């Protein structure tokens, strides 16, 4: 799991929320698959709604400029964001995201390598509502500041714990990466972060920076499906 900090500032989140809070929310069960319908109890904006598309474009534009997201995800395709709201008593029980999703209104298919949740409510706006993700190291709970995002493998079993007070608003979407393997993608991310750190200390022309940058690029050539 990789947190992507400050996709939006607090001021930008406030502007986004002005639009979302005035939108026409519907039952999340309407867009749930057969398996998820029994455990999905939340509210969702229509995928083809004007506000969904407008705010979704803002998110995709911001992510295209976010170096940590690009390094961590190595995105090939991104499903346009969906927007969920959880009020008191609402939850989304244990589930695994669908392996293949179709971009609404198109015939474009996307393999879900990575799942993303962008928090649009601050933790003090609601109680409960933690995103609980299970992995090889146990269960971890995530509750980030508004404007921050968590990126995690779509193979993970996860759930949104019941909200006991307030309202939790978030954007969710899925990414098909150029590098399908989680292990390879993780190694590339660690290598790229090391290159960036060395560059800040020694500059682009330092021999170690050049050598490691070459290793990174050659691994991308071997592993990426561009």
Architecture label for domain 182-223: Irregular (4.10)
- From residue 197, alpha-carbon distances to 4, 89, 121, 193 in Å are 17, 44, 31, 6
Tell me the pTM.
0.91
The two structure tokens encoding residue 130: 């933690």
In the beta sheet, which residues pair with residue 82? Answer: 172
DSSP class of 161: P
Distance CA 137, CA 160 (A): 19
Phi first, then psi, for residue 178 (nearest 5°) are: -65, -25
Look at residue 27 in the predicted model and tell me its pLDDT.
Answer: 85
pLDDT tens track for 10-46: 999 999 999 999 888 998 776 655 666 678 899 999 9
Residues of the chain with CATH 4.10.860: 182-223
**3 state DSSP class of 111:** strand
Report residue 57: phi and psi, to 5°. Answer: -65, -35
Q: Which top CATH class is 2-177?
A: mainly beta
Burial class of residue 166 (count of CB atoms within 10 Å of its CB; 0-12, 13-18, 19+) = middle
pLDDT of residue 32: 59
> In the chain, where does the domain assigned CATH 2.60.120.620 lie?
2-177
Residues 6+ apart with CB under 8 A from 226: 76, 178
The answer to whether the annotation marks 158 as part of a ligand binding site is yes
Are 42 and 36 in contact by the 8 Å Cβ rule? The answer is no
Check residue 31 and give its pLDDT: 63
Residue 173's pLDDT is 95
Tell me whether residue 168 is annotated as binding. Answer: yes
Dihedral of alpha carbons 205, 211, 212, 214, sign:
positive
Closest-CA residue to 186 (of 113, 79, 137):
113
Residue stretches of the chain with pLDDT short of 50: none
> ∠ CA 118-122-128 to the nearest 5 degrees?
90
Cα–Cα distance, 157 to 172 (Å, whole number): 15
Q: Exposure of 160 by Cβ count < 10 A (0-12 exposed, 13-18 middle, 19+ buried)?
A: buried
User: Residue 156 has what pLDDT?
Assistant: 93
Say how far apart CA 159 and CA 134 lie, in whole Å. 9
């Amino acid at each position: 799991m990789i947190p992507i900090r400050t996709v939006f500032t607090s001021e930008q989140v406030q502007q986004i929320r002005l639009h979302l809070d005035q939108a026409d929310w519907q039952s999340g069960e309407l867009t749930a698959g057969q398996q998820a319908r029994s455990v999905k109890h939340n509210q969702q904006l229509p995928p083809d709604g004007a506000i969904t598309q407008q705010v979704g474009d803002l998110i995709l534009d911001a992510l295209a400029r976010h170096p940590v997201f690009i390094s961590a995800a190595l995105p090939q395709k991104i499903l346009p964001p969906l927007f969920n709201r959880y009020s008191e008593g609402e939850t989304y029980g244990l589930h695994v995201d669908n392996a293949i999703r179709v971009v609404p209104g198109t015939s474009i298919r996307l393999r879900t390598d990575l799942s993303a949740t962008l928090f649009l409510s601050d933790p003090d706006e609601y109680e409960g509502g933690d995103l609980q993700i299970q992995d090889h190291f146990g269960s971890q709970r995530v509750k980030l500041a508004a404007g921050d995002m968590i990126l995690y493998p779509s193979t993970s079993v996860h759930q949104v714990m019941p909200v006991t007070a307030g309202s939790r608003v978030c954007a969710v979407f899925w990414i098909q990466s150029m590098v399908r393997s989680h292990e390879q993608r993780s190694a590339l991310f660690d290598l790229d972060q090391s290159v960036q750190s060395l560059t800040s200390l020694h500059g682009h022309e330092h021999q170690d920076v050049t050598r490691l940058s070459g290793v990174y690029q050659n691994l991308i050539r071997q592993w990426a499906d561009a």
